[in-house]
Amino acid sequence: MSTLTRPKTDTVTTAPTTLRGPVRVLLRLHRKALWAGAALLVIGIGIVVALSVWMASSPVRCADGDTTRCGDDIYVSSYAHTSTETFLTDGGAVLVLLAALIGVFVAGPLIARELESGTFRLAWAQSVSPTQWLAARLAVPAALTVTGLMVLVIVYRWGLWALRAGPNSPGLRWHAEGVYPGTGPAVLGYALLAVAVGALCAVLVRRTLLSMSLSALVLAAVGIGLSTWRYLLWPAALRQGEGPKLLRDSDWHLEGGMLTASGSKVYWRDCYHAGSVEGYDACMRDRGGVTPFAEVHPASHYWPLQLVETGILLALAALAVFAAFRVLRRLHG
C-alpha cells in the first residue's frame, strides 16, 4: 500500500469544504516563515529607499563646487552614486533568487516534510481531500510571493529611475543580466514556476532534503537556460550604416560585421586575428564586406522579450502543477 493512501474513515455527513480551512491551518503552522518573508520585504524596500535618499543628498560636484555637469561629456561621480549603482546592478538577479528560495521552501518544509513524517494523514482525515490539501499549499505561497515580488519590482524600478535621473549615466543597461529579470513580469513567472516545481518535486520524492535539492537544480537549469538563450526569444533588428545609425547606447548588441554585395553576412568574429581596427577592416574587405551591419535588440524589444519569457515560464508552471496533481492522485489511488 502506498504511503500516501488516504486513511479509511467512517462515512459521515459533512458540510462541503473549501480551501479556507486548509489555508488558515497552513498560515498558522508557518507563521514564522511568513514573518521572515515580511521582514525580507521591508528590508528590500528599505535598502532601495535608503540608497536613493543617500544619492539624492550627495549630488555630483565639479571642481569648482558647482552641482551642474562639468561640460558636455565630463563629470565627477559621487561615492553615493557609485555605491547605489553597485548595489542595484544585481537587484534583478536577487529577486529571481528570492523566488527560487520560495520554491525550495515549498518543496521542503511546506509539502515534503508532511509527506515524509505522515502528518498529511491528519488533514486528509478531517474532510480535506488530497486535492484541496495540495491546492492550499500551492495557492498560499503563490499569492504571497507574487504580491511581495510585485512590490519589490515597483520599488526596484523606482530606484533605477532615480539612478538614471541623476546627472551621471549609471551604465545600467536594460538588458543586463542582473537588471533585466527584476524589472518586469518575468520575475513573477519565475516565482510561479518555483512554487509549481517545488510542489512537483515534493510529491515525487517525498523526502525533505532531496526535494529541496532537486527543486534548486531544476530552477537553476531553467534560469541559466533562459538567460543564455534570451536573445533568441524575439527576432533581432538588423541595422546597416555607420556611426550612430548603426549602434545606440540603449541597444543590446548581439552581432556585427559587414554585408557583401550579394547580401551575405561576414562577422567581425571571423577577423579577430587581425589585431587592429585597420586590420579588421582590411580582413572584412578581403572577405567581400561592403556595408557595416549590426544585429541588435533595441530598447523597444524590452516588452516583447519580457512577455515571451513570462509566457514560457507560465507554461512550464502550468505543466508542473498539472503533473503534481496527477502524481498525487496516482499515489492516493
**pLDDT digits over 261-304, tens only?**
888 888 888 777 766 666 777 888 888 888 888 999 999 999 99
Under 8 Å CB-to-CB from 245, ≥6 apart: which residues?
239
Domain assignment of residue 17, yes or no? no
Under 8 Å CB-to-CB from 251, ≥6 apart: which residues?
294, 296, 297, 298, 299
> Is the pLDDT reported for residue 64 higher than 50?
no
Q: 67 and 128 share a domain?
A: yes
Cα(250)–Cα(246) distance, rounded to whole angstroms? Answer: 12
Q: 290 and 208 share a domain?
A: no
Domain assignment of residue 196, yes or no? yes
Domain assignment of residue 320, yes or no? yes
Domain assignment of residue 9, yes or no? no
Q: 59 and 155 share a domain?
A: yes
Domain assignment of residue 105, yes or no? yes
Domain assignment of residue 18, yes or no? no
Q: 46 and 174 share a domain?
A: yes
The mean predicted confidence, pLDDT, of the chain is 82
Q: 275 and 224 share a domain?
A: no
CA within 13 Å, CB half, 290:
6
> How many other C-beta atoms are found inside a 10 Å radius of the C-beta of residue 199?
31
Domain assignment of residue 238, yes or no? no
Q: 291 and 143 share a domain?
A: no
Average pLDDT over residues 93-97: 94
Q: 205 and 273 share a domain?
A: no
- pLDDT for residue 24: 78
Task: With cut-offs at 50, 70 and 90, classify the pLDDT of residue 87.
Answer: confident
> Is the pLDDT reported for residue 65 higher than 70?
no
**3-state percent helix, strand, coil for the chain, nearest multiple of 5:** 65, 10, 30
Q: 307 and 287 share a domain?
A: no
- pLDDT for residue 60: 60
Q: 314 and 289 share a domain?
A: no
- Are 160 and 74 in contact by the 8 Å Cβ rule? The answer is no
Total domains in the fold of the chain: 2
Domain assignment of residue 277, yes or no? yes
Under 8 Å CB-to-CB from 300, ≥6 apart: which residues?
none
Q: What region, left, alpha or beta, does residue 263 occupy, with left being phi > 0 and alpha being psi -120 to 50 degrees?
A: left
Is 164 or 225 the better-scoring residue by pLDDT? 225
pTM: 0.84
Q: 195 and 276 share a domain?
A: no
E strand segments, 179-251: 237-240
- pLDDT for residue 9: 45
Average pLDDT over residues 36-43: 91
Average pLDDT over residues 84-112: 91
Q: 112 and 188 share a domain?
A: yes
User: What kind and span of H or E run contains 253?
Assistant: strand 252-260
Q: 281 and 196 share a domain?
A: no
- pLDDT for residue 192: 96
> Is the pLDDT reported for residue 3 higher than 70?
no
* The most confident of 159-163, 204-208, 307-311, by mean pLDDT: 307-311
Cα(75)–Cα(167) distance, rounded to whole angstroms? Answer: 8
* Domain with 185 in it: 26-230+302-332
> Is the pLDDT reported for residue 20 higher than 80?
no
Nearest residue to 123 via CA among 21, 202, 206, 34: 21
